[in-house]
Chains A and B, each alone.
Chain A
Amino acid sequence: MPNQRRIAVTGIGPGGGVTPIGTGVTEFWESILAGRSGAGPITKFDTSKYPVHFGGEVADFDISEYLHPRRARRMGRFTQLAYAATKLALDDAKLDPQDFDPARIGVVIGSGIGGIALTEEEHTVLGEKGPRFVSPELIAKMIPNAAAGAVAIEFGFQGPNDCTVTACASSGHAIARAVDLLRSGAADIIITGGTEASITPLSLAAFCTARALSKRNDDPQHASRPFDADRDGFVMSEGATVLVLEAMDVADNRGADVLAEVMGYGLSADAHHIVMPHPEGEGAASCMDQALKDSDLAPQDIGYISAHGTSTNLGDLAETKAIRKVFGDSPPPVSSTKSMTGHLLGAAGTTAAAATILGLRHQILPPNINYETPDPAIDLDIVANQPREAKVNAAISNAFGFGGHNVSVVLAKP
């Protein structure tokens, strides 16, 4: 679109250990280059009665490294992770909020299920002790928008503040919303991302009974294997990834290092089934189409696809069909970084986008690890197991969620 305000990514904060494969940008990218899996045994609670005993936990996360415990106390874990990721992203962007009118800085942080851990704990209190003993803090801490609110409170950002809740597409929608707010001029800078901390007894049980998770208990590090013939479900992870998005004119004025440009996005619904993808990938295809149109780019301009690819049988197949619909017989290389990070649910969209941005910057495509046995139904050029050097100017990053929500974001080398 001509004369439209352009948008720069100037900071990335997979903070707080905030992905299972690393704290902060450097560690995150090193893990990607090394093809490191973040999966391991679940340590938060006893999983012996569960059919799945592993996930992608953020190990050794200590909020007191980022924030005084008194301030952190009013935050659930998902909010703490988002706070840490924000702090790391602002550091990465070398952005001092004091230099800006706080009313021009907004926050859009999505989450799939917010503080489900707190809800579970207080429900136990309700059953065991009665209503009089349920924490008065519960609602304020568990609402999925608590993270966006807390980031604004702690940093004093008074601009638009929003939370997108579309399951595993939540943080993809957060980027889209941020783009709208910057294009319209409602804000100059948006802190955007997603956060999730749902490795909890109830949530794990429900994902297990829904048969969504990989049961490769004897080998967690090889369990997330998107597009591989032996994929058997996703690996549930936790974490937060936050990006600093700025209007390009604002970034240029302050001499910021522009990591990538957000060219545009596409949104759609499968309108098919609450958890199953459309078998022909129609919603996903339309979403990628719209993202290309919004970016004023053609399919051949795209040099890399960061797939949603969660390692489920139906999901990966539907996404493959969608990619073939949009990109024809010779689609660009594809990988899913969930092979390494596991599935961060509401934080998945920005985590994959962060890997894509770093890939564009370094001209290296993130690998899809654990790709061992090709699936004849998946006729794609998978970036198998090793990072791949490539000349890539633009890339598309997908996020799809339960409910049938689809988001695609197009990112480009500045």
Chain B
Amino acid sequence: MARQDVVTALKEVLVEKLQVEADTITEDANLFDDLGLDSIDLMTVVMAIEERFNIEVPDDELEDVTTIGQAADLLAAKVGTNA
């Protein structure tokens, strides 16, 4: 499972579930300051990714995630372990 698949999935979830403008979703985009998410939005995104890739991300590992790139790294690592 390539990291790019996770990024694509993240974008889909952000656009479809949270109505984030697609072109604002870049690797460096800050989830909260740039994309306007709050903690509940982040949980919504993570849950959708968890379901899609059949992974589980412990809450404490999400504490330091602030950008799309960091989220992709964390989620891709979980997907990799699972595969």
Task: Give chain A's interface residues, CB within 8 Å of chain B.
Answer: 68-70, 73, 129, 132-133, 135-137, 140
| B83, CB-defined interface residue at 8 Å | no
> Binary interface profile of B, 14-25, with partner A (CB < 8 Å = 1, else 0)?
000011100000
Most chain A CB neighbours (cut-off 10 Å) among B20, B44, B56: B44
Q: How far is the CB of A127 from chain B (nearest CB, A)?
A: 15
- B40/A70 in contact, CB under 8 A: no
Which of A69, A133, A137, A140 is within 8 Å of B51, CB to CB?
A133
A135 to B56, CA, bound (A): 16
Name B44's contact: one of A70, A129, A135 (CB within 8 Å). A135
Question: A137's closest neighbor in chain B, by CB?
Answer: B40
Cross-chain contact B51 with A129 (CB below 8 angstroms): yes
Contacts of B20 in A (CB 8 A): 70
B1 at the interface (CB under 8 A from A): no
Task: Report the Cα distance A73→B44, complex, angstroms.
Answer: 12
CB distance from B25 to the nearest CB of A (A): 13
Residue of A nearest to B38 (CB): A74
- Closest residue of A by beta carbon distance from B17: A73
- Give the Cβ gap from B41 to chain A, nearest Cβ, in Å: 9
Q: Known contacts A70-B36, A73-B18: does B44 contact A137 (CB below 8 Å)?
A: yes
CA distance A72 to B55 in the complex (A): 30
In the assembled complex, which residues on chain A have CB atoms less than 8 Å from the CB atom of B44?
135-137
Among residues 8 to 52 in chain B, which have CB atoms less than 8 Å away from a CB atom of chain A? 18-20, 36, 40, 43-44, 47, 50-51
Encoded as 1 (CB less than 8 Å from any A CB) or 0, chain B from 36 to 78 comes to: 1000100110010011000010000000000000000000000
Distance (whole angstroms) from the CB of B29 to the closest CB of chain A: 15
Query: How big is chain B's contact interface, by range?
Result: 10 to 19
User: With a CB–CB cut-off of 8 A, which chain B residues contact A129?
Assistant: 51
B36 touches A136 (CB 8 A): no
A231 to B54, CA, bound (A): 54
Closest chain B residue, CB of each to CB of A73 = B19
B40→A140 contact, CB < 8 A? yes
CB A137 to nearest CB in B, in angstroms, measures 6
Closest B-chain residue to A72, C-beta based? B19
How many Å lie between the Cα of A136 and that of B18 in the bound state? Answer: 13
A69–B47 CB distance below 8 A? no
* Residues of chain A with a CB closer than 8 A to B43's CB: 136
Q: Which chain A residue shows the least CB distance to B44?
A: A136
Min C-beta distance of A403 to chain B, whole Å? 32
Q: Told that A70-B20, A136-B43 touch, could you supply 18 new A-B pairs with CB distance under 8 A?
A: A68-B19, A69-B19, A70-B18, A70-B36, A73-B18, A73-B19, A129-B51, A132-B47, A132-B56, A133-B51, A135-B44, A135-B47, A136-B40, A136-B44, A136-B47, A137-B40, A137-B44, A140-B40
A–B pairs, 8, beta carbons within 8 Å: A69-B19, A132-B47, A133-B51, A135-B44, A136-B40, A136-B43, A137-B44, A140-B40
Question: How far does the alpha carbon of A133 sit from the alpha carbon of B54 in the complex, in Å?
Answer: 12
Q: Which residues of B contact A68 (CB under 8 A)?
A: 19
Bound-state CA distance A330–B75 (Å) is 75
CB distance from A11 to the nearest CB of B (A): 29
Instruction: List, in ascending order, chain A residues with CB within 8 A of B51's CB.
Output: 129, 133
Question: In the assembled complex, which residues on chain A have CB atoms less than 8 Å from the CB atom of B18?
Answer: 70, 73
Give Cα distance in the complex from A135 to B50, angstroms. Answer: 13
A36 to chain B, nearest CB (A): 35
CA–CA, A384 and B47, complex, Å: 56
